[in-house]
Amino acid sequence: MLNQLLSPPLPLLLLLITFFSLHSPTLCAQPPAATPAPSPPPPPPPGPPNITAILDKAGHFTTLIRLLKRTQMDDRIYKQLNHSDSLTIFAPTDDAFSNLKAINLNSFTDLQKIQLIQFHVVPSAIPLSEFEMVSNPLSTEAGDNTGSQFPLNVTTSENQVNVTTGIVNTTVSGTVYADNQLVVYQVDQVLLPLHFFPAASPAPSPASKAEKAVPTGPKISGANAMGEMIHHGRDAVVFVVSVFIAVFCLCV
Ligand SMILES: *[C@@H]1O[C@H](CO)[C@@H](O)[C@H](O)[C@H]1NC(C)=O
Ligand SMILES: *[C@@H]1O[C@H](CO)[C@@H](O)[C@H](O)[C@H]1NC(C)=O
Ligand SMILES: *[C@@H]1O[C@H](CO)[C@@H](O)[C@H](O)[C@H]1NC(C)=O
Ligand SMILES: *[C@@H]1O[C@H](CO)[C@@H](O)[C@H](O)[C@H]1NC(C)=O
Ligand SMILES: *[C@@H]1O[C@H](CO)[C@@H](O)[C@H](O)[C@H]1NC(C)=O
């Protein structure tokens, strides 16, 4: 070993010594820089499940995805999941939306669109096998189980889970996604809330109903804020476009 180390001819040793003495700072500096390298930023921790990506992958939920984006409920759901909330989402298929026929989604106000989505979201993750243990009506993000505005009832038999809103009866027709935090079920009808159909609702006068329906709790006022944001966003766009046109006219 030692012999081998000492064996190189003297000129070469001298050369090496000279080289080291001249370059030692660089040599010392280089290896640490090269080995752990300018380490790339660590990959972001795996985030919460992404509802639009899940629905996108399943392939027949394009209307629901559009509605989630339009109402910004996609962001809201993402944030809830990011805060470790658990959710069950009933996802109506594209066919379910096209079967609405008489009911035009575009005739819904922004608030109603938000409430419609919220009505499909239950603030806990319910595995299929646990539906028989839930008590009716379920709480949804549109309203808790104390009100009669947004009842959502499930009944089960064997492997079948029926869902009724007082307006719509349907059956859970598949599981799109399930983990401990998020469960997404396919339903073949849009779950229309009783609240949207005052004639069918057993509640008192329409006026008191409308009053009660809007603010109940932080979730719905959040929805209002969202609705307003949509309005303000639109106003801002109109304003910017107007200014742009005005400036353009002045210049020409
Ligand atoms: C969720 O997935 C969609 C694609 O389906 C993507 O456009 C969106 O940015 C994702 N959202 C987040 C928060 O990662
Ligand atoms: C998700 O939560 C983490 C902290 O747990 C936070 O840093 C991050 O900004 C959150 N992302 C969103 C989109 O809210
Ligand atoms: C569920 O609905 C179907 C009809 O769609 C009906 O035959 C069945 O009895 C219902 N089951 C329960 C438990 O309500
Ligand atoms: C839901 O279940 C509750 C409790 O059983 C009942 O009072 C209510 O009438 C049901 N509503 C619908 C729409 O089935
Ligand atoms: C839903 O089912 C109930 C009985 O379970 C029935 O009384 C009601 O008429 C049904 N509604 C619709 C819209 O089919």
Given a contact cutoff of 8 angstroms between Cβ atoms, the answer to whether 190 and 110 are in contact is no
**pLDDT at residue 201, rounded to an integer:** 53
Long-range CB pairs of 110-113 (<8 Å, 24+ gap) are: 110/71, 110/226, 110/227, 110/230, 110/231, 111/214, 111/223, 111/224, 111/227, 112/196, 113/67, 113/70, 113/71
Q: Indicate if ligand 3 lies below 6 Å from the C-beta of 159.
A: no
What distance, in Å, lies between the first and last C-alpha atoms of the chain? 86
Q: How confident is the model at residue 134 (pLDDT cuts 50, 70, 90)?
A: very high
User: Rounded to an integer, what distance in angstroms lies between the CA atom of residue 252 and that of residue 241?
Assistant: 17
Instruction: Report which ligand 2 atom has the smallest distance to the Cα of 48.
Output: 1
High-pLDDT (> 90) share of the chain, %: 47
Q: How far away, in angstroms, is 173 Cα from ligand 3 center?
A: 12
Which residue owns the Cα nearest ligand 1 atom 5?
53
- Mutation choice for ligand 5 from 157, 163, 164, CB with most ligand atoms inside 8 A: 164
Residue in 95, 90, 94, 88 with CA at minimum distance from that of residue 61 = 94
Cβ atoms within 10 Å of 144's Cβ, excluding its own: 16
Q: pLDDT digits over 29-59, tens only?
A: 444 444 555 566 666 667 899 999 999 999 9
Phi, psi of 142 (to 5 degrees): -80, -25
Q: How far away, in angstroms, is 166 Cα from ligand 3 center?
A: 15
Q: pLDDT digits over 145-158, tens only?
A: 666 678 899 999 88
Q: Residue range 16-28: average pLDDT?
A: 42
Q: Residue range 227-245: average pLDDT?
A: 45
Stronger pLDDT, 23 or 230, i.e. the higher one: 23
User: Rounded to an integer, what distance in angstroms lies between the CA atom of residue 174 and that of residue 176?
Assistant: 6
User: Rounded to an integer, what distance in angstroms lies between the CA atom of residue 242 and that of residue 232?
Assistant: 15
- Ligand 5 environment, Cβ below 6 A: 164, 169
Q: pLDDT digits over 88-119, tens only?
A: 999 999 999 999 978 888 889 999 999 999 99
pLDDT(251) > 80: no
Q: How far away, in angstroms, is 84 Cα from ligand 3 center?
A: 34
Given a contact cutoff of 8 angstroms between Cβ atoms, the answer to whether 144 and 128 are in contact is no
Q: pLDDT digits over 206-233, tens only?
A: 333 333 333 333 333 333 433 344 444 4
Q: Indicate if ligand 1 lies below 6 Å from the C-beta of 78.
A: yes
Q: Indicate if ligand 3 lies below 6 Å from the C-beta of 155.
A: yes
Q: Which residues pair with 184 in a beta bridge?
A: 89, 177
